[in-house]
């Protein structure tokens, strides 16, 4: 009997938590992708395994930082591998696996539902399988619509076959907030193209607001539900605020900076500012060379990148909900209110506590990695901070090098490994990563006497 009890105890100790399984699945996918990208059939030149690993990580975590020129250094096969990594990484490996198991009429176990909920950032396990099926339908429909919308523009410039390929690639990359492009200068030559900027921006926004929000809005307009949740309201209002605030702040910050945004005409300034405000939140597409922008503008973009997209979407960052909750807590405290209320609903104190932990961990992690990069790589502080936050928030924007590559391309192997780690941490989530390393959470039932502390 004792032997059996010991065996069960050892078995339980070695059981992985849902967040640990999600982390391992991403690492496994990255390694497989790295091996495939290292194959001679994938590249037009010999590349190091580290560069293949960096590219696979960037694609799987839907970041978009590049140390190799995607259209020039990768063959058609290599580009397809990158595209598959973007699609699988955007939805999550465990999400894809569970979906195909369901298609084979396999019933998801409780453990699989917990992993799925963790991967999709879904609240609870009730209805998560039904939610997954809706998500796949939504993803396919939106990416197809996006591809057709982009085809209308690309067909004017390229032969049909190439235009179709460009449309599909950029639709998937934009919806998954990946930022990978088949143009060496990203989208800089389309800075004045209002239509293309609009389509890409819409795909970025839809992918970034989260599958939970998209699903709820669809159900609301189909009148299957009667009210919009507080979560969805916060995401929509705060996302719109950030887009407008970001665009206006960039314009003001670049005022009379004739080496930067002010070197363009007013029409281009407005288009670039709006697109940059949207893309900075985790997409990584750029229509302007970021190295010519002022440091104050770069810092505004860093703030946008740090905040990122919304929970349950294809983007990264600390998330709009996290910043919103902390912001509301501060405002309510200053007004002398005990509870934090929004849209006639009270926010659970545990959610506020969790949001503050996420912000604190994210700030500490980015600070530590940035200072290490500055010391090891001897790069300017603002450029290093920009690169680290871009990796952490899975954005993909970079102050960059003259050849169009990310600043990371000029890093030492150690520097590249730090950025690779940061992209993985950002995709899993700083809190999820910390919990994955710390192991199982053990609830304590011991309550000590209250301490008197002066602030």
The Cα–Cα gap between 311 and 305 comes to 14
Q: Is residue 8 situated within a structural domain?
A: no
The Cα–Cα gap between 285 and 279 comes to 6
Q: Is residue 443 situated within a structural domain?
A: no
CA-nearest of 323, 309, 305, 314 to 389 is 305
Q: Is residue 125 situated within a structural domain?
A: yes
Find out whether 296 and 269 touch, Cβ atoms under 8 Å.
no
User: How do the residues of the chain divide into helix, strand and coil, expressed in percent and rounded to 5?
Assistant: 65, 0, 30
CB neighbours of 132 closer than 8 A, spacing ≥ 6?
Answer: 95, 98, 99, 102, 116, 120
* Structural domains in the chain (count): 1
The Cα–Cα gap between 118 and 428 comes to 10
Q: Is residue 401 situated within a structural domain?
A: yes
Beta strands in 335-417 (DSSP E): 341-342, 345-346
End-to-end distance of the chain based on CA atoms, in angstroms?
54
pLDDT digit string (tens) for the chain, length 455 residues: 444 454 345 445 447 777 777 788 889 899 999 999 999 999 999 999 999 999 999 999 999 899 999 999 999 999 999 999 999 888 765 566 666 555 555 666 666 666 666 666 666 666 677 777 788 888 889 999 999 999 999 999 999 999 999 999 999 999 999 989 999 888 999 999 999 999 999 999 998 888 888 888 988 888 888 889 999 999 999 999 999 999 999 999 998 888 888 888 999 999 999 999 999 988 889 999 898 899 999 999 999 999 998 887 778 889 999 999 999 999 988 888 888 888 888 998 889 999 999 999 999 999 999 999 999 998 999 999 999 999 999 998 999 776 678 899 999 999 999 999 999 999 888 887 887 777 665 666 677 888 888 87
In the DSSP assignment, the letter for residue 43 is B
Q: 224 vs 129, 185, 276, CA distance in Å?
A: 18, 45, 36
Which value, in Å, is the radius of gyration of the alpha carbons in the chain?
A: 22
- Whether the CA torsion 44, 181, 153, 139 is positive or negative: it is positive
Q: Is residue 450 situated within a structural domain?
A: no
* Secondary structure class of 448 (helix, strand, coil): coil
The Cα–Cα gap between 317 and 264 comes to 30
Find out whether 50 and 415 touch, Cβ atoms under 8 Å.
no
Task: Calculate the dihedral angle through the C-alpha atoms of 247, 253, 258, 264, rounding to the nearest 10 degrees.
Answer: 10
Q: Is residue 7 situated within a structural domain?
A: no
* Secondary structure class of 345 (helix, strand, coil): strand
> pTM (2 decimals)?
0.89
Find out whether 238 and 205 touch, Cβ atoms under 8 Å.
no
Question: What is the model's pLDDT at position 452?
Answer: 82
Find out whether 96 and 88 touch, Cβ atoms under 8 Å.
yes
Q: Which two tokens stand for residue 174?
A: 């934009």
CB neighbours of 443 closer than 8 A, spacing ≥ 6?
Answer: none
Q: Is residue 360 situated within a structural domain?
A: yes
Question: What is the model's pLDDT at position 10?
Answer: 42
CA-nearest of 311, 388, 386, 387 to 355 is 311
The residue range of the domain holding 312 is 14-436
Q: Is residue 57 situated within a structural domain?
A: yes
The Cα–Cα gap between 158 and 161 comes to 8
């Amino acid at each position: 009997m004792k032997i059996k009890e010991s065996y069960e105890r050892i078995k339980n100790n070695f059981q992985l938590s849902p967040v640990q399984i999600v982390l391992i699945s991403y690492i496994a996918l990255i390694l497989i992708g790295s091996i495939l990208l290292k194959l001679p059939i994938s590249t037009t030149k010999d590349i190091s395994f580290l560069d293949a690993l960096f590219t696979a990580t960037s694609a799987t975590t839907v970041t978009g930082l590049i140390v190799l020129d995607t259209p020039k250094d990768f063959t058609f096969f290599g580009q397809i591998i990158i595209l598959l990594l973007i699609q699988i990484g955007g939805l999550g490996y465990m999400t894809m696996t569970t979906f195909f198991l369901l298609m084979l009429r396999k019933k998801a176990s409780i453990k699989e539902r917990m992993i799925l909920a963790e991967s999709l950032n879904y609240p609870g396990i009730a209805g998560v399988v039904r939610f997954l099926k809706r998500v796949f339908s939504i993803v396919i429909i939106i990416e197809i619509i996006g591809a057709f919308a982009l085809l209308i523009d690309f067909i004017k410039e390229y032969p049909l076959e190439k235009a179709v390929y460009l449309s599909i690639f950029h639709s998937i990359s934009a919806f998954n907030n990946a930022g990978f492009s088949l143009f060496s200068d990203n989208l800089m030559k389309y800075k004045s193209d209002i239509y293309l900027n609009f389509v890409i921006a819409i795909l970025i926004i839809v992918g970034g607001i989260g599958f939970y929000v998209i699903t709820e809005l669809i159900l609301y307009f189909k009148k299957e539900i009667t009210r919009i949740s507080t979560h969805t309201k916060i995401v929509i209002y705060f996302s719109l605020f950030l887009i407008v605030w970001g665009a206006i702040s960039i314009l003001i910050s670049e005022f009379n900076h004739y080496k930067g945004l002010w070197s363009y005409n007013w029409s281009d300034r407005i288009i670039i500012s709006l697109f940059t405000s949207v893309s900075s939140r985790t997409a990584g597409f750029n229509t302007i060379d970021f190295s010519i922008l002022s440091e104050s503008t770069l810092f505004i973009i860093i703030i946008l990148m740090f905040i990122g997209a919304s929970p349950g979407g294809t983007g990264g960052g600390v998330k709009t909900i996290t910043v919103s909750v902390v912001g509301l807590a501060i405002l309510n405290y200053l007004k002398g209110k005990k509870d934090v209320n929004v849209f006639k609903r009270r926010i659970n104190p545990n959610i506020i506590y969790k949001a503050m932990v996420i912000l604190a961990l994210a700030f500490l992690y980015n600070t530590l990695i940035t200072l290490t990069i500055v010391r090891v790589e001897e790069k300017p502080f603002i450029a290093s901070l920009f690169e680290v936050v871009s990796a952490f928030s899975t954005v993909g924007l970079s102050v960059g090098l003259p050849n169009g590559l990310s600043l990371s391309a000029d890093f030492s192997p150690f520097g590249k490994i730090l950025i690779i780690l940061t992209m993985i941490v950002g995709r899993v989530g700083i809190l999820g990563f910390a919990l994955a390393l710390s192991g199982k959470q053990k609830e304590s039932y011991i309550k000590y006497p209250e301490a008197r502390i002066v602030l």
